[in-house]
Amino acid sequence: MSTPIAAPDAVADRTATKRTILMCKPTFYTVSYRINPWMHPEAPTDTSKAVQQWQRLYDVYRELGYDIELIDPIEGLPDMVYAANGGFVLDGIAYGAKFQYPERQPEGPAYMDWFRGAGLEVAEPAETNEGEGDFLLVGDVILAGTGFRSDSTSHEEIARIYGREVVTLKLINPSFYHLDTAVAVLDPEPVDGVANIAYLESAFDEPSLAILRERFPDAILATEEDAAILGLNSYSDGYNVVIAARATTFAEQLRERGYNPIGVDLSELLLGGGGVKCCTLDLHPIGTGTSRRQEQR
């Protein structure tokens, strides 16, 4: 039996940690194809509105004191705004994305070029994966989603790269095709080994639910209504949690646990199947995993 990653008190003192993130302005955003249930190319989209909403998210992050890096958007790649899918960064190493659908495949090399330019070591992927869309760091463990986009063989690949435990979770609801649509990491840098998450039970198969319940006994269980507007697709610094403005029940659940929810309207970007976290790639600082990885070589 595994040791629970998280079992904090119902209400605890929370501390915000400094975050460094990567974002991409939705200059060329539109919905011109359909690769998830949210996308309807026959319906009009408003690029200007998307830019305004994204700018508000950017401004919130600035107000919170985050360091924000930007990758230049590329014409013809409307989904580049969903920066979280562009890779997974940890211990100074960027594991590149290898997208399932042809429409997004050019994003992988574009993000890897940015990682190299930023001085990161780039691990080019052999297996299909969509970055932080399906890989979430919780404590010293990487939660890894599969079922719709990332191949489960990428879980073995990322485990070799970082030398950390990788926990596979299978998604079964097409509306929650990435792990970050069904799981929110609430404590990105746990103190004394304590970390926690929120998740949507109906997004996972029964074996995955058993894992989540064992490892996260005090997790917040999101409502179907909040999840349906990608309320779980949120970004936390350990105290402030930026969420979909309409996810009011989730906001109350967070307040009850001592977090500070901040609502942002990204309704235009929701038309492409993305929310707060999708627009936010965490550039995790070098941590203990580096020495652990070197020891395993």
**Annotated domain spans of the chain:** 20-291
Would you state the pLDDT for residue 272?
A: 80
Assess whether pLDDT exceeds 80 at residue 275: yes
Average pLDDT, the chain: 89
Q: What is the CATH number of domain 20-291?
A: 3.75.10.10
Cα separation, 69 vs 72, in Å, equals: 10
Cα separation, 156 vs 176, in Å, equals: 22
Rounded mean pLDDT, 1-9: 40
28-32, 158-162, 214-218, 293-297, range with the lowest pLDDT: 293-297
Residues labelled as active-site residues: 178, 278
Do the beta carbons of residue 184 and residue 198 sit within 8 Å? yes
75-119: per-residue pLDDT in tens?
999 889 999 999 999 999 999 999 877 878 899 999 999 999 999
Would you state the pLDDT for residue 238?
A: 96
Do the beta carbons of residue 201 and residue 221 sit within 8 Å? yes
- For the chain, percent of residues with pLDDT exceeding 90: 74
Would you state the pLDDT for residue 10?
A: 45
Q: Coil, strand or helix: which one is 18?
A: coil
Would you state the pLDDT for residue 137?
A: 97
Cα separation, 179 vs 63, in Å, equals: 27
Rounded mean pLDDT, 190-217: 92
Would you state the pLDDT for residue 6?
A: 41
Alpha helices in the chain (DSSP H): 47-63, 107-117, 153-162, 206-215, 224-227, 248-256, 267-270, 288-296
Rounded mean pLDDT, 188-196: 80
